[in-house]
Amino acid sequence: MKNHLRQKLTKVEDFDNPKVSLEQYITPPGLAADLIFFAYMNQDLSGKVLDLGTGTGMLAVGAALTGSKVEAVDKDEKALSTARKNAEEIGVSDKINFKQKEVSKVSEEFNTVLMNPPFSQHSNEGISFWATATSVSARVYSVSPTSNRGGIKKFLQNTNHKVIDLEKFEIELPSTYGFHTKEGHKTEVDLILTEDTQK
């Protein structure tokens, strides 16, 4: 199943004109397949699933390919337009409800959150994703740069969530913006699973 997911997710289109202010990078299909497969094997895709900051729909499409119904939110309508097109072309548009919404405005309860929040250590945007995810969901599956691990663990100390699994990966991020001088660069990321200990 993981190889099938990876193969299908290679068809997900990237951002047409990515916004640096929103740190728009596509989640690598292999990493997305690992995250989705991990959640699927834990039976965490059978309830209410939220893709927080869906971008062009990589994680939402992946979850939908397992049969899950997903709500996918993003504040960028242009990204959502590409995400809807991706879902349609891969044949899962009937399983995903795309909504234009600020991450901080999400208040409905979910069983599982999937997310790949902004990586920047120079803003609190990534932590705002964590704040929403941990307040609305029993379980959170997230991609995060390994360099942010300490900050995330510190944030979680003030929530009901605790890290119950963590795996480190090395991924290659493509050259996405005009100021990038290399064709791509490798970066270490964590795939983190947290659980609300009160639910």
Total-model pTM: 0.88
Residue keyed to tokens 């190889």:
3
Which stretch of DSSP H or E encloses residue 126? helix 125-136
pLDDT band at 22 (very low <50, low <70, confident <90, very high): very low
Mean pLDDT calculated for residue range 176-196: 71
Round to whole Å and give the CA distance between 71 and 128.
Answer: 19
Return the pLDDT at 26. Answer: 67
Q: Tell me: the pLDDT tens digits for 39-86? A: 999 999 999 999 999 999 999 999 999 999 999 999 989 989 999 999
Return the pLDDT at 161. Answer: 98
**Residues 37-51 as b or e (16 or more Cβ within 10 Å = b):** bbbbeeebbeebbbb
Q: Tell me: the pLDDT tens digits for 82-126? A: 999 999 999 999 999 999 999 999 999 999 999 999 866 555 778
